Chain A
């Protein structure tokens, strides 16, 4: 059985007088513990998929199930609880709290969830043991993204959602970040969904969902996904 399912999900936005369908009746399923990529050009609707899955937005039509729970009809408060306990986010621009140190940024996330992992350990795992007491502004972009990954994983979520995690990084750093996401998720048994416009990243995924104009035009399963370090762009 699929861990995550989208059934005929639609999301409309009203912009002025016109109605834009960001996601237009999509259906797909994702297995637990896999690495998945949603691929598409900007405007394809892939970020909307991520937002819907992350409980930051609700569909106008259709049903979204996660681990047997329907999240598409949850209240705002329920969605927050869902985000709290089930979801780890990694953003393109890291979104660290500038006023907190590296360690504190990770502890911040742990403070609110049910079953967190040790924050220091997580930071050591992402290779930042020497940066624990630095503020985000004092470290590089790649390092900031690693903090962001540590923050996402320390919550011990079931699903890790990444929105263009390499978008603001150079390719070498990006590759390292991707490897970190995949390796940690794999070892911890997390389900990972990466949204990107970078087709090369798709090679490392178990499943690739191709999107265009709010619709899915193909779902591709890789029998043997590449290691992140083998990807070149």
Chain B
């Protein structure tokens, strides 16, 4: 059979150039693995989040207001765009478990329709029963019928766990200022029956309104209407997406979306270049065979398909492998590290991008092969059957620089001419090395950025031993009179509603402390020491970006129980974590508020005052060392990512360098043999072939640095909205990344040198090429 014999030929051709075709396969597989893998990470997160949002019937907006009246509720439900509104009560409460973890308590009535939990086990059978966060329960070894004690309204109340559940509001679950990454053992949620509130507070109380918007409603318009209805009673509104859970999920999705688009590009291009170099050479070497096939009467189409099929087989096989590996591997490896409490991790695949990547990879392999075939096919069989015209040498631009050219040794000239003659090969290896160095730089930068969070926040910004969250009854005077043996800094942390330029309402963190604080050391965006502005707001760089504001802009702040006050932004500072607004206590009082500390920072002169820490006046405390450890522990995902990046970089480097060396070598076997016969030593010949790789490493490493910074920035931007990661790349990182890349190149070179040893002088000289 005609077809079979050509097929057999292609299989044998591929066997003869094993290394190259395996490389094409690896690169195609890697490209598709990365696209489909990263794609299915965000798609899986998005789909499962949406499943949970609809299963929990999550609200579109939450309004903070203390005990809204029936009239206010009625008015809100009449607002254009509000479909449903209901009251609820929610509060952070301390539990009696080890480490005193906090639970966010939600009080529900049987009529509550919004923000329902997704029950995983049991159900709320009695009014004294509670439903507990499943992840939290697991971490603390709690189950159905176990008891849990919570401090509510200054009293400890015991509840019986009757159900375990997940919540749409706690998919990404962080408490606030003392926590950077989710940790189910320290923070969770609990649902109690609203009738229980009567026993605890003496009456039914509410502090939130959950709102479901009608489809297409304008959230910021609704916010304005709500502000109008509630007037001074309003504390603030948060739309879905502005809350930290949804915000972080969207950031994760966005991050993987961006990475899945830009990141694999490099791999596709390298695939195309490897195919190009392999197929052009193969077709060129087979010009005689093409002539014979044509002379035998094979149609153009058949010959073209024959050569196209090489790429299609490898590309198709690679794509299939990539598709089989990518989604499973990436979702299983990465999603657990996102620390999301999803009801299901059912993998989703983004078929649209899968189709695109399949087409793209086939274009990079089959398409390039087709092009290689077309190049020769237009010649007549008679021309093809004749010997190939001899290889031409040509002058290169370096020769126009006599001061350089005349000083070069001949072996150097040979390397220069040869390298510049094969620009595509050089492009391939430089690009591959750029990618490799970029990935390594990104890996190191990401790790150091994340290490920098702890170092910066707890090494530069804050110098306290303990951060102590105070109970409501502790005030300035009490702290003052207490006379703790150490440096004490009172601070107030609160969330307030703001109206930013353009009239958009959001809730942001506001922290208040004195102008000169011995325990807080602020820095501006350039790393210079600075202080709070005395006559306005100081805000963090990342928040300024999010809000789209700059120094000189005005922001309206919601007064407690009063209307808004317009304050100017005077200063932008850099904070690694804890994005928000800052002002001095004097300025805070000057706008008519009262400074009452919510927390103190303490640097003890001697031992910590354990009696004070255990007292009723202290709600919660954390020491700096623990905060550093926690931060490091919760950011370990970055190290996994770093290892992954370095592995991908290594594959990229080895594949391109091995290919370009083998191509370089086999294209020049005859020249090299001549040199060997002339009396060149093995190491001199090796240098002729392998110096080019070192050249690629030099250029690639240089281009790799900005690429690495870019990858690191994208990866860092989606990590957490509370983090502001500065990706400045220290010189040592550049050197180390370059050294690792060079190491890869040297390993490759020694492998290729082994292959070159077997160069048979006698064979290569016998025949004309």
B-contacting residues of A (Cβ < 8 Å)? 51, 54, 56-57, 76-77, 80-85, 87, 89, 91, 93, 95-101, 104, 107-109, 111-113, 135-138, 151, 155, 163, 168
Contacts and interface: CB of A to CB of B under 8 A. Distances in A.
A100 B680 contact: no
A99 B393 contact: yes
Nearest to A82: B679
A178 B677 CA distance: 21
A97 B674 contact: yes
B394 interface: yes
Contacts of B765: 91, 93, 95, 163
B410 A80 contact: no
Interface in B404-418: 409-411, 413-414, 417-418
A113 B676 CA distance: 13
A194 B421 CA distance: 36
Nearest to B685: A80
B417 A100 contact: yes
Contacts of A107: 410
Nearest to A77: B681
A111 B677 contact: no
Taking each of B413, B421, B679, B761, which has the highest tally of chain A beta carbons within 10 Å of its own beta carbon?
A: B679
B410 A83 contact: no
A159 to B, nearest CB: 12
Contact of B679 (A83, A93, A95, A104): A83
Nearest to A56: B761
B410 A100 contact: yes
B611 interface: no
A137 to B, nearest CB: 4
Contacts of A151: 678
A100 B679 contact: no
Given A99-B421, A100-B393, A100-B417, A87 B679 contact: yes
Interface string B741-769: 00000000000000000000110010110
Interface residues of B, number: 32
Interface of B: 389-394, 409-411, 413-414, 417-418, 421, 670-671, 673-682, 684, 761-762, 765, 767-768
Contact of B417 (A57, A99, A155): A99
Contacts of B684: 112
Nearest to A13: B762
Contacts of B421: 99
Contacts of B418: 99
A116 to B, nearest CB: 12
Contact of A112 (B392, B414, B673, B678): B678
A112 B683 CA distance: 13
Contacts of A89: 677-678
A81 B678 CA distance: 10
Contacts of B670: 95
Contacts of B679: 80-85, 87, 112-113, 155
17 contacts: A54-B677, A80-B676, A83-B678, A84-B679, A95-B671, A95-B765, A98-B393, A99-B393, A99-B418, A100-B410, A101-B393, A108-B678, A111-B411, A113-B679, A136-B390, A136-B393, A155-B679
Contact of A98 (B671, B675, B676): B671
A32 B47 CA distance: 88
Given A56-B762, A84-B679, A91-B765, 8 more contacts: A56-B677, A76-B682, A80-B680, A80-B681, A93-B768, A97-B671, A98-B671, A112-B680
A147 to B, nearest CB: 12
Nearest to B769: A93
Contacts of A83: 677-679
Contacts, number: 93
Taking each of A91, A93, A97, A107, which has the highest tally of chain B beta carbons within 10 Å of its own beta carbon?
A: A97
Contacts of B391: 98, 137
A138 B418 CA distance: 17
Taking each of A51, A56, A163, which has the highest tally of chain B beta carbons within 10 Å of its own beta carbon?
A: A56
B374 to A, nearest CB: 25
A100 B414 contact: yes
B677 to A, nearest CB: 5
B373 to A, nearest CB: 25
B410 A98 contact: no
A87 B677 CA distance: 9
Given A95-B674, A97-B674, A100-B417, A135 B393 contact: yes
Contacts of A80: 676, 679-682
Given A108-B414, A112-B678, A51 B762 contact: yes
A125 B681 CA distance: 29
Closest 4 CB pairs of A and B: A84-B679, A135-B393, A83-B679, A95-B674
A146 B60 CA distance: 88
Contacts of B677: 54, 56, 83, 89, 95
B762 A99 contact: no
A98 B413 contact: no
A101 B405 CA distance: 14
Given A56-B761, A77-B681, A137 B413 contact: no
Contacts of A91: 674, 765
A93 B764 CA distance: 11
B672 to A, nearest CB: 9
Taking each of B411, B413, B676, which has the highest tally of chain A beta carbons within 10 Å of its own beta carbon?
A: B413
B762 A104 contact: no
Contacts of A85: 679
Contact of B393 (A77, A81, A108, A137): A137
B761 A109 contact: no
A77 B678 CA distance: 13
Taking each of A83, A87, A95, A151, which has the highest tally of chain B beta carbons within 10 Å of its own beta carbon?
A: A95
A76 B767 CA distance: 24
A95 B768 CA distance: 9
A49 to B, nearest CB: 13
A98 B409 contact: no
A97 B414 contact: yes
Contacts of B676: 80
Contacts of B762: 51, 56-57
B392 A98 contact: yes
Contacts of B392: 98, 135, 137-138
A155 B414 CA distance: 19
A108 B390 contact: no
Given A89-B678, A95-B765, A111 B409 contact: yes
A101 B393 CA distance: 8
Nearest to B420: A99
Taking each of B394, B410, B673, which has the highest tally of chain A beta carbons within 10 Å of its own beta carbon?
A: B410
A153 to B, nearest CB: 13
A168 B676 CA distance: 22
A98 to B, nearest CB: 4
Taking each of B391, B677, B767, which has the highest tally of chain A beta carbons within 10 Å of its own beta carbon?
A: B677
Nearest to B390: A137
B139 to A, nearest CB: 67
Contacts of A84: 678-680
Contacts of B761: 56
Contacts of B389: 137
Contacts of B674: 91, 95-97
Contacts of B767: 93
A144 to B, nearest CB: 9
A104 B411 contact: no
A113 B678 CA distance: 9
Contacts of B768: 93, 168
Contact of B394 (A51, A135, A163): A135
A101 B676 CA distance: 19
A104 B676 CA distance: 17
A54 B677 CA distance: 8
A104 B413 contact: yes
A104 B392 CA distance: 15
